[in-house]
Amino acid sequence: MSSFSHVDSAARPTMVDVGDKTVTKRTATAETRVRFPHAVAEALRGQQFNTPKGPVFQTAIIAGTMAAKRTHELIPFCHPLGIESCKLAIDMEGDDAIVRCTVSVHHKTGVEMEALTGASVAALTIYDMCKALSHDIVIADTRLIEKRGGKSDIG
């Protein structure tokens, strides 16, 4: 038997059966960092984080929310979930934008992948909206920082 949850005893990929699990409130928070060159961060601050494409952070929040809700369409073995809450926050820390996505649901399976997807797509949207200023923007340090509900808690 494999210790990987999405591989069966014959080493074939498989979706986890959550049929016998208990419905509980499950919450996950993920974050990622968008590293801007100093000149780009200063230009964005000077424009209140607007570019010719529009308001950068507001657009990223919408994109991240949409992505979190559609995670099951992107990640093969994710279960479709009726997400109850998806909150994205984007804050500047020096020349970096910190994107944090918190997702919650009452379900039999967790929302870690939804939170990670939401944060990642928000970061990609920031990159897309700012790439005309520089291609030296780096998306880094994407990670799960908290998970509550289910078998184990993290963070």
pTM of the model: 0.89
Res 46: pLDDT: 81
Phi, psi for 91 (deg, rounded to 5) = -130, 145
pLDDT digits (tens, 9 = 90+) for 3-58: 776 777 777 777 676 767 788 899 999 999 999 999 999 999 888 888 888 999 99
- Angle of CA points 135, 122, 142, to nearest 5°: 80
Contact 43, 133 (CB under 8 A): yes
- Of 136, 122, 142, 143, the C-alpha closest to 41 is 136
Mind telling me the catalytic residues?
128
Task: Name the residue ranges covered by the structural domains of the chain.
Answer: 31-148
Name the superfamily (CATH) of residues 31-148: Molybdopterin cofactor biosynthesis C (MoaC) domain (3.30.70.640)
